[in-house]
Amino acid sequence: MVDLKGQYSQIKDVVNPAIQDVIENTAFINGPKVHEFQKNLENYLDVKHVIPCANGTDALQIAMMGLGLKPGDEVITADFTFAATVEVIALLQLTPVLVDVNPDDFNINVEAIKKAITTKTKAIVPVHLFGQCANMEAVMDIAKAHNLYVIEDNAQAIGANYTYANGEKVKVGTIGHVGATSFFPSKNLGCYGDGGAIFTNDDDLAHTIRGIVNHGMYERYHHDVVGVNSRLDSIQAAVLAAKLPHLDSYNNKRIAAANKYDAAFKNVPSIETPVRNGDVDNHVFHQYTLKLKGVDRDALAKHLNEKGIPCGVYYPIPLHQQKAYADERYNEADFVVTNQLVKEVISLPMHTELDNEQIEYITSTIIKFING
Ligand SMILES: *Cc1c(COP(=O)(O)O)cnc(C)c1O
């Protein structure tokens, strides 16, 4: 699905000495590399504060802790996402409220959010699934009208732009009150281990969060709030600092590969290629996900694996049907789209090193299977 080795071979000459440097300096935790990467990412995203942390799941959890959400507060998020999003809501004893997504862009459905709001609702967590921003203008309007926080799960869309109706562009993850991302190796900006970060333009929230990631300390050995230990280590920061200047070109390579996939499937009626909202740089294709109409998805997946083509089903089970998150409050009629998507979606290899020959082999194998 990804070719991390191919990408590494092209930046080896920068990454290796950067890692070596960290080792020589022994500043493994909170070293200068972490600060350097933080500043570079703030500039890149045009956001006031980046707070690096240990992984994307922590980033979401810490964002919610920073906002002071309390047990029993309801948090609305998408039914069709990676479990980390809902996991941290539940861990903090907040009440997850899963809602349906759009059939075209797979992102949280705005009408479903409106329907789910109660007097206990405190926050909305839109997930920018597969690399494309949710309808943030509408989400922010709802949040404003109901006095809710918006926490963007930007684990899959770092570097993507969001274009407002008036044409103004911003980096995804910097629109809500707080954004969270992951630097898991296969993400669009991945390190060589675990890593994550929180973004915000709010000075007070940034200050609160900087304490939370460090055991609730704002002054050494003074623990003002209950915190966690969540740090980006210096070796990962060195990798990320070396890779960040390439992020736009990495994302452009993904977009170019997606365009080639699209072209190959253009005349195949049983394949729906991914919908893009807005401009070409609004979808950075963390995943390239097809919807199959009248095709046995699992048989195709098996066939692709036999032909040496990796593929993935993101995600095979809606969160509201997972044992950990099932709840009698949920009604299947409210999850028509997710229930359908889990049967139809398939994600193809997507990374920065995909070449024409690979794309041609993948697409022709799929089309041959479908045409029998
Ligand atoms: C990867 C991912 C996360 C979690 O990130 P980790 O760094 O693996 O903890 C959260 N949300 C979404 C949507 C993700 O894809």
List for the chain the helix, strand, coil content (%; round to 5). Answer: 45, 20, 40
User: What is the residue with the minimal CA distance to atom 14 of ligand 1?
Assistant: 155
Enclosing domain of residue 339: 247-371
CATH number of the CATH domain containing 301: 3.90.1150.10
Q: Is 107 in the pocket of ligand 1 (CB under 6 A)?
A: no
| Rounded distance between C-alpha atoms, residue 363 and residue 63, angstroms | 40
b or e along 248-269 (b: 16 or more beta carbons within 10 Å of the residue's beta carbon)?
eebbebbbebbebbbebbeebe
**Residues of the chain below pLDDT 50:** none
| Rounded distance between C-alpha atoms, residue 345 and residue 271, angstroms | 10
164 and 305 co-located in one domain: no
265 and 226 co-located in one domain: no
**Boundary residue ending a domain (182, 214, 245):** 245
Within 147-271, residue ranges assigned H as helices are: 203-212, 234-243, 247-265
- In this structure, the dihedral spanned by the alpha carbons of residues 208, 211, 216 and 218, taken in order and rounded to 10 degrees, is -100
14 and 43 co-located in one domain: yes
Instruction: For residue range 145-173, list pLDDT tens digits in order.
Output: 999 999 999 999 999 999 999 999 999 99
Q: Is 56 in the pocket of ligand 1 (CB under 6 A)?
A: yes
48 and 117 co-located in one domain: yes
132 and 174 co-located in one domain: yes
257 and 225 co-located in one domain: no
85 and 174 co-located in one domain: yes
The predicted pLDDT at position 34 comes to 98
The predicted pLDDT at position 279 comes to 85
Task: Name the pTM for this structure.
Answer: 0.97
Instruction: For residue range 18-34, list pLDDT tens digits in order.
Output: 999 999 999 999 999 99
The predicted pLDDT at position 280 comes to 82
Q: Is 81 in the pocket of ligand 1 (CB under 6 A)?
A: yes
Q: Of ligand 1's atoms, which has the minimum distance to the CA of residue 286? A: 15
154 and 234 co-located in one domain: yes
**Boundary residue ending a domain (188, 216, 245):** 245
227 and 262 co-located in one domain: no
The predicted pLDDT at position 372 comes to 87
The predicted pLDDT at position 140 comes to 98
Peptide bond into 261 cis (omega under 30): no
